[in-house]
Structure 1
Amino acid sequence: MRAYVVVPEVRTRQSSAGGPHARSAQARLDEAVGLARAIDLDIVGQGIVRIAEPRPATLIGQGKVEELKGLILAEEIGLVVVDAPLTPAQQRNLERAWNAKVLDRTGLILEIFGERARTREGRLQVELAHLNWQKSRLVRSWTHLERQRGGFGFLGGPGETQIETDRRLIQERIARIEKELESVRRTRGLHRDSRRRVPFPVVALVGYTNAGKSTLFNRLTRAEVLARDMLFATLDPTLRAVRLPGGRRVILSDTVGFISDLPTDLVAAFRATLEEVLEADLILHVRDVSHPDSAAQAADVTAILDRLGVDAEGSGRVLDVLNKVDLLDPVERGRLEASAGRQSGQVRPILMSAVTGEGEAMLLAAIDERLKGEVVHRSIDLEASDGAAVNWIYERCTVVGRSDDAETGRVRLEVDIPISRRDEFDRRFPTSGA
């Protein structure tokens, strides 16, 4: 579909907006174009519209509406993406003025999520977010929708119907989805309980969309997760085991990318997925340091973590991973290395490239060091025939070393024990040595 991308910039907010990490209008436009291209829209034009103050009827001024109308007609544009929240009235008025479908930022993100979700859980979460958005917003729906691509059909056809959305049916569907997602949460809870019984710490990857999380995930786990230079390439969570230099295994979790102005409904809907982050022993905040808006992106991720109840700056659970250093020029890289070197050990970020592998060993060592406080080490000698004792240790602890003595029939285990199980272990094996 031929599309045009518009970024409204309110002049009166320039001096007070956003603080030190405010984005430029051009950066917002580049991101909006990237979002639109993520669902294969044919971008035939783009522009920044500067306005003194938002207009209640159309957001942008009438003169600009008329100017864009001529361009939209001349270029036979079927969709206009407005990178801002639109009220239902503003959306309808612009659609009538331009005789084209209009999609605001929330609708575009929902469309991307609807197309990308692969698992049943992911699709349920996206549908829930869409229905909550639709319930209070859409009073008319577009027909002749293209359904082959997936998504929710926001990008469909040439005509508008007069059919009123049946709020009762939507609410009933929302209730059914919430019930199904509650079942998903219970299942995830059981899985987490199982992991606690086989106590591998959980390390979650978070970051702005397209920061390189999935590439890093593949690098650390040697997996084959989709990793592309594309916004929201990952929606559904993926878990894999990784062995650290000290021999301990951890569970690495790749999660959905964050983005500025992420709709509240989406944060709420993906809470079941993001529970992996909430429950994680360590969170790796992956940052694309080659991006001109890296600081603003990091601030957005921190804000979303705060909304989820994670204290990204004061909890000690977050380790910054400064990714894509291979794309920096020598001067910028030197400045970044000097800045990182001035920070103390606990908060010092790791510089790396998930593509080349540079910094991988340092990252794994840092993860190992961060998680050491979560376990105690013991050495223990057992009869090899004491299967119950050996199984107990393997099920509840991490065995980082083992030596079998065939002559004596004994086995020596080097064991990392979760702090929560230390007393239980010492009661069961009182002669074990630290």
Structure 2
Amino acid sequence: MLPQEIIRRKRDGMRLSAPEIAAFVGGVTSGVVSDGQIGAFAMAVFFNGMNRDEAVALTLAMRDSGDVLDWSDLPGPVTDKHSTGGVGDNVSLMLAPIVAACGAYVPMISGRGLGHTGGTLDKMDAIPGYVSQPDVALFRKAVLETGCAIIGQTADLAPADRRLYAIRDVTGTVESVPLITASILSKKLAAGLRSLVLDVKVGNGAFMEKSRDATALANSLVEIASGAGLKASALITGMNEPLASAAGNAVEVRNAIDFLTGRSRDHRLEDVTLALAAEMLQAAGLASSNQDGMRRASETLASGRAAATFGRMVAALGGPADIIERPEKYLAVADTEVPVRATTNGFVTGIATRDIGLAVVGLGGGRARPEDKVDPAVGITRLLPIGAEVWVGDPLALVHARSRSDAEAAAAAVLSAYAVGASKPAADRSVIRRILPRG
């Protein structure tokens, strides 16, 4: 069937068969389907959705567009996590080495930034020499030697998703539940996982701002994963403020290293990271309960084993062997720093988190177009959390930019994103809900 006929059927709300979906995805992979047709298909799905069978078929077709890894020779369980994206969400950088240091293997295939959210792959690219898109041989070698590897999609793994992912970013179709589900799960299935934990963000800095939408996405991910033969569960976590106190690429890597070494740890970031680690360890059979998983993860972090694992992973993939000990030697630094100062006394009562992410994009730390290059040095640090007390002139954040004009524009956006009131607000829960397969 012609691609335009498949687009028309979905545009008109018809159910697509597995062969139709496989044919369209095959055309995406081969190049027979144009960028315009991919965008039209994504928009049709955005408005008309997909049922469970269609979403499973799309996920499997995208998985099968390239190689599927086999880790059956490993002496331990293979597991992973995926976040739906947020601002200051560098959890993967700590989580993979924590879980690997507990005895699991974590072949983490990550993506680049989408819209206002940062991408794990862009963060890893901020480390000089790090090969974020290795061939399969190097990927396997790194996982075998260190227990984890954070990489992007290679030419051999889910290539259909790589193309669709880039086009969704610039066609207003990022928020489609079936497309998000298939994108995430196709990469994870191609990675040969035995279990997966989803971190579904909800709030004004997430793609899903409303609880019902985040719950629908979490249920979709867990159910479609189950339909595709992958054991999965999900945690719904809050994104009404940046998760880390840093947003950007090099600045989030530095934040992650400080977290791993114990130099400093943002409270909400620690809550989410350890909750996901406990979930992964339980799913992988390395913890008898969630409480046991939390204990194991906390001990591994405190002992320094997780930090050492991160350092070995970076070195195995071409980065500096002493990144943990000397991050300032390797991570890019922007030329200009401008503090964002409070204009009133009180407490931080809210943050327009999406606007913080867009400010980073405006600095050059994200993409307006798929072909845009990302500046690893720019970003925002020292972001105060909701509930922090401030006085006039106190810094709410620190902007890192390439020019004074860029810094001042971002600082104005950050100041506008912060709400300060007279009363200290109640703290939101970092981990809101757990989603398991039905039945």
- Pair member with larger Rg: 1
Alignment TM-score > 0.5, same fold: no
Query: Whose strand proportion is higher, 1 or 2?
Result: 1
